Chain A
Amino acid sequence: QSALTQPASVPGSPGQSITISCTGTSSDVGGYNAVSWYQHHPGQAPKLMMSEVSQRPSGVSIRFSGSRSGNTASLTISGLQAEDEADYYCCSYAGSSTFVFGTGTHVTVL
Chain B
Amino acid sequence: QVQLVQSGAEVTKPGASVKVSCKASQSTFITSYMHWVRQAPGQGLEWMGIINPNTGGKGFAQTFQGRFSMTSDTSTSTVYMELSNLRSDDTALYYCARSDLSGSGFFDHWGQGTLVTVSS
Q: Which residues on A are within 8 Å of B, measured CB to CB?
A: 1, 3, 32, 34, 36, 38, 40, 45-46, 48, 51-52, 57, 87, 89, 91, 93, 96-104
Decide if A97 touches B111 in the complex (CB within 8 Å): no
Closest chain A residue, CB of each to CB of B93: A43
**CB pair B108 A97 closer than 8 Å:** no
24 contacts between A and B (CB under 8 A): A3-B46, A34-B105, A34-B106, A38-B107, A45-B95, A45-B110, A45-B112, A46-B45, A46-B110, A51-B104, A51-B108, A52-B104, A87-B44, A91-B45, A91-B107, A96-B59, A97-B50, A98-B47, A98-B59, A99-B35, A99-B50, A101-B44, A101-B45, A103-B44
Question: Which residues, 38 to 96 on B, are CB-close (under 8 Å) to A?
Answer: 44-47, 50, 57-63, 95
Indicate the size class of the contact surface on chain B.
20 to 34
A98-B61 in contact (CB<8A): yes
Cβ–Cβ < 8 Å partners of A91 in chain B:
45, 47, 106-107
- Let me know if A51 and B106 touch, CB within 8 A: yes
- Please measure, in the bound complex, the distance between the C-alpha atom of A34 and the C-alpha atom of B47, giving whole angstroms: 14
| CB-based nearest B residue for A1 | B62
Closest chain A residue to B43, Cβ basis: A104
A107 to B: closest C-beta gap in Å: 14
A residues in contact with B62, CB < 8 Å: 1, 98
Interface residues of B in 97-117 (CB under 8 A from A): 97, 103-108, 110-113
